[in-house]
Amino acid sequence: MIDRQVYYFDNNATTRVAPEVVEAMISSLRDGWGNPSSAYSFGAQAARQIDHARAQVATLIGADPKEVVFTSCGTESNNAVLQSALATQPGKRHIVTTAVEHSAIIKHCEFLQKQGVEVTFVPVDADGLLDLHLLDQSIRPDTALVSVMWANNETGMVFPIEEIAAICQSHNVPFHTDATQVPGKMKIDVRALGVDFLTLSAHKLHAPKGVGMLYVRRHAKFQPYIIGGHQERGKRGGTENTASIIGFGCAAELAQAHLEDENTRVRALRDRLESTILRTIPNTIRTGAKEPRLPNTSNIAFDFVEAEGILMALDQLGICASSGSACTTGSLNPSHVLTAMGIKPARAKGCVRFSLGIYNTEQEVDYVLKHLPEVIAHLRQAVPRPTPKPGKHTAKLPAHAG
Ligand code: PLP
């Protein structure tokens, strides 16, 4: 247990489990622990609760409950959809994705490449945005799947999923989007989007870790990834993680209610944090375009200092932030997302992601703004840095740089 106050600015890594979710789960763990597949009424009671959660999650994304497949996490959903696309279309051995996907897509695609599958990683520009013409051109007659994330976990950049779905439809190629970072921040309507598959992960929306979801559009070809029992209408074997699924359902309802707060109050907190840092701390720059972006995410490069040092110093102050995706923290390589945006390693290594959430307050932002300038100044003083040629470095920074 942490016995000091935590200033949590890492909501893209995971989120606090909402008290309502904890409550919903406790009664399942304590009293409703029957196996949902059992024929007697004690088991059937658990099955009914899962059905209720399925309806709640379906409502969040505008789907039919029968199109919701519960999995163990976002990673499993992403892996499952890639494997299924290849298994159900044996003649097709090509996948189109982007250079900035989460490792749950990128690493699995690299694994598939070793098995002879061809993968096109569509690049992004310096703002982190996609060239849709290039994406369109990348689709081939043997393309089994296009998989493009909706919102980037490191920069918050939002891709135009509806337009990409239309491109895929024009080629008659199935389309998957990893929407893990989206719930509670943007409205999700799978029908309006026109996607065939969509991934969510419960722990990004104030539910527990270890439960996720794959939306599988009705009539879309799908081959289960985890093969075993008949659970999830035969689409995912394994006894259901009942309590967590119930928590996920509860959190899905809360996420609908959080949309407004995320897009007004949380957005304003993020904007104040970001603009004050850029204005008051010299040699800082936001990575990625200002819009279209998630309302909660800010990724900032602090030149002449390494993110690891910043994060350690912030940790001493009880502040949690991240140097990119949690999965790459600790590795010495700069993030693949920032590298794909053409950010040089020296700058990428100084990038810190602040991702806010519904539990952040004005006072917490004040606390970060009070301490961060000292932290950066101290680290810059401690580490000798190359002297920039007079006027050269600052001239390169865009107008919003501090
Ligand atoms: N996709 C994105 C965009 C993510 O941000 C994450 C988690 O960071 C995942 C997938 C993986 O989700 P999980 O942690 O549930 O495996």
Q: What are phi and psi of 376, to 5 degrees?
A: -65, -45
Q: What are phi and psi of 21, to 5 degrees?
A: -70, -45
Q: Whose CA is nearest to atom 8 of ligand 1?
A: 13
- Exposure letters 157-194 (e unless 16+ CB within 10 A, then b): bbbebeebbebbeeeebbbbbbbbbbbbbbebebeebb
Ligand 1 atom nearest to 104, measured from its CA: 10
Residues annotated as part of the active site: 327
Give pLDDT, residue 399: 31
Does 149 contact ligand 1 (Cβ within 6 A)?
yes
Does 214 contact ligand 1 (Cβ within 6 A)?
no
Give the Cβ contact number of residue 232 at 10 Å.
Answer: 20
Testing ligand 1's pocket by substitution, the residue of 153, 161, 203 carrying the most ligand atoms inside 8 A of its CB is 153
Tens of pLDDT along the chain (402 residues) come to 667 899 999 999 999 999 999 999 999 999 999 999 999 999 999 999 999 999 999 999 999 999 999 999 999 999 999 999 999 999 999 999 999 999 999 999 999 999 999 999 999 999 999 999 999 999 999 999 999 999 999 999 999 999 999 999 999 999 999 999 999 999 999 999 999 999 999 999 999 999 999 999 999 999 999 999 999 999 999 999 999 999 999 999 999 999 999 999 999 999 999 999 999 999 999 999 999 999 999 999 999 999 999 999 999 999 999 996 544 455 568 899 999 999 999 999 999 999 999 999 999 999 999 999 999 999 999 876 665 554 443 333 333 222
Q: Could you tell me if 198 and 190 are in contact, meaning their C-beta atoms sit under 8 angstroms apart?
A: yes
Does 153 contact ligand 1 (Cβ within 6 A)?
yes
Q: Whose CA is nearest to atom 13 of ligand 1?
A: 74
Give pLDDT, residue 397: 31
Residue 163 and residue 46: Cα distance in Å, rounded? 40
Per the document, the length of the chain is 402
Testing ligand 1's pocket by substitution, the residue of 15, 97, 102 carrying the most ligand atoms inside 8 A of its CB is 102
Does 341 contact ligand 1 (Cβ within 6 A)?
no
Distance 107 CA to ligand 1 centre (A): 13
What residues have CB less than 8 Å from 274, skipping those under 6 apart?
A: 286, 298, 300, 354
Does 73 contact ligand 1 (Cβ within 6 A)?
yes
Ligand 1 atom nearest to 149, measured from its CA: 3
Give pLDDT, residue 354: 98
Distance 361 CA to ligand 1 centre (A): 25
Give pLDDT, residue 400: 29
Does 97 contact ligand 1 (Cβ within 6 A)?
no
- Residue 91, CB half-sphere, CA atoms under 13 Å: how many? 3
Residue 120 and residue 94: Cα distance in Å, rounded? 8
